[in-house]
Amino acid sequence: MCRHLAYLGPPLTLSALVTEPPHGLLHQSYAPRDMRGGGTVNADGFGAGWFPDGSAEPVRYRSEKPIWSDTAFAGIAGATRSPAVLAAVRSATTGMPVHAGACAPFAEGRWLFSHNGVVRGWPGSVAPLAAALPTTDLLTLDAPTDSALLWALVRHRLRGGDDPATVLAETALAVAAAAPGSRLNLLLTDGAAVWATTWTHALSVRVSPDAVLVASEPLDDLPGWAAVPDRHLLVARPGTCRVTELAEPTAPPHPSPRRPRGDRCATPSSSTST
């Protein structure tokens, strides 16, 4: 199963997140530690999306190559600094095509999205959910894959102005109900916040006073990483992180007069505010 990460904080090079850490996405592409029964390597392409400092919209690079073989990306990653990044390496599910369009991040406007997992019974199990989308959305999917459809489902509701936490949680729950046994770790950012679900897959988070890093697997052995429990929604911003059980009402992503239900992420350096 693919591996993904999202970072918000002081500008870092893409290399500092993707290629340099001892267990960064580059290492996870050929030596992942926690694939949980889905694939062995993540060599079916990769992608990175980043917000240039001061920009409200991200730039994206995707390739069907294994990340270790893409020398163009190595150069870009070393020279690119950003305060907000979402990146992923892909292990294609059996039967799904290998090309750049199938790689995360999926993107529109200020949004970057990734899916780590598989939709069981694809495509029949989720055909009724897909049928609710505008036909043009189905005709313009990035790829004929489960992840691209999940992005279309999420994107459709984001376009309508729905709350991102609610969208991610309800999409995961609806697909899990329609396609039992699916693995649905979803990851979304707009450059200011990160939303993620855990549904039968690994996810960890590290919060510091001015940053947050969410990743399928910890990028290093430094302290501060906390595993996100299964079947939870995570909402994080630099310095803050909250996890909420997916079956429960979801926490709002923005400050609200009503205190959201949920647990602070159990990281030693976490400092949550609401």
Q: Which of 2, 103, 241, 265 is catalytic?
A: 2
Instruction: State the Cα–Cα distance between residues 150 and 238, nearest whole angstrom.
Output: 26
Tell me, yes or no, if 2 is annotated catalytic.
Answer: yes
Which one of residues 29, 63, 80, 93 is an interface residue with ligand GLN (CB under 6 A)? 93
Question: Which residue of 25, 50, 67, 115 would you call a contact of ligand GLN, by CB under 6 A?
Answer: 115
Dist. CA 29–CA 103, nearest whole Å: 13
142 in contact with ligand GLN (CB under 6 A): no
- Residue 102 CB, nearest distance to ligand GLN (Å)? 5
* Piece in contact with ligand GLN (CB under 6 A), picked from 8-16, 71-79, 109-117, 202-210: 109-117
Contact range with ligand GLN by CB under 6 A, out of 20-28, 61-69, 84-92, 251-259: 84-92
Show the tokens assigned to 164. 């991102």
Cβ-contact 226, 265 below 8 angstroms: yes
Please state, in angstroms and rounded to a whole number, the distance separating the CA atoms of residues 139 and 269.
45
Give the pair of three-digit tokens for residue 219.
């990028």
Question: Which position has the token pair 């530690």?
Answer: 33
User: Among all residues, whose Cβ is closest to ligand GLN?
Assistant: 2
Residue with tokens 């780590």: 116
Residue 29 binds ligand GLN (CB under 6 A): no
Strands of 106-108's sheet, edge to edge? 106-108, 111-118, 183-189, 194-198, 232-237, 240-245, 263-264
Contacts with ligand GLN by CB under 6 A: the residue count is 17
Closer by beta carbon to ligand GLN, 66 or else 117: 117
Q: Choose which of 145, 198, 200, 216 interacts with ligand GLN (CB under 6 A).
A: 145
| 25 counts as binding ligand GLN under rule CB under 6 A | no
